[in-house]
Structures are given as structure tokens and as C-alpha cells.
Amino acid sequence: MATGSNQAAAVPPKIIWNEKQNRFETEDKKAYLEYELRNGGKVMDITHTFVPSSKRGLGLASHLSVAAFNHAQNNSLSVIPSCSYISDTFLPRNPSWNSVLYSEDLKSSM
């Protein structure tokens, strides 16, 4: 596995918060995670994660997800995992983020 591109894989990708488009994205904007704010801006509903086939297998979806969950946690937001990648892959692999999830018991103003 000694190739010239190993250095690039060792450096985590820079993830940018694109507040205007409600998404987190790689610098080249080709991989991204989209969300919608709900409940007066207190709940982040993650609706879609996309990584082009040419960039799959590099962990970009996970990096995007971590950036989104860190943002939610740092801004006191709850997360709804509508995206199947988040609910079926990311959260089972990263159960520590379950504490940030929106609770169905709190439906009061939703």
C-alpha cells in the first residue's frame, strides 16, 4: 500500500460550513452534507450526504458527518438523522453522537 498518494489520505480533509446553502462541504464542493433547520432553528435535520464515486472510500462522508454533529453540539442543536447514511451507517459506528439526537419525546413545538 505504498503509493505516492498516501500523504493525502493521512491529512484529514478540510470541511467548510456553507451556512447560506445549509450544508457542510469539502473544499472542492464535490462532497457535501445537506441539512434543514427546524423548530425555530433549534433542530438540524440532516437530509442528504453525497460523495462522488471518484472520492468514495476516503472517509469523506464520516468527516462531513462529524463536522455537522460538532456544529450541532457546539450550537446547542438537536439532530434528526433523516439521511440514510447518518441513521444506518454513521450513528451505529459512532454511538457517542446519540446524545445529540432529537428526541421524539420533545415533539411539543415540532
Instruction: Read off the CATH number of the domain in which 82 is found.
Output: 3.40.630.30
Active site residues: 83
The pLDDT value recorded for residue 107 is: 47
Question: Is residue 75 a part of any domain in this protein?
Answer: yes
Contact 20, 5 (CB under 8 A): no
Q: Looking at the domain assignment, is residue 53 inside a domain?
A: yes
pLDDT at 4: 46
pTM score: 0.85
- Cα→Cα distances 19→22, 63, 84, Å: 5, 17, 22
Alpha helices in the chain (DSSP H): 6-10, 60-74, 84-85, 91-93
Q: What is the pLDDT of residues 19-36, one digit of tens each?
A: 999 999 999 999 999 999
What is the dihedral angle through the alpha carbons of 26, 29, 34, 36, rounded to the nearest 10 degrees?
A: 110
Q: What percent of the chain is predicted at pLDDT more than 90? A: 82
pLDDT confidence bin for 105, thresholds 50/70/90: low
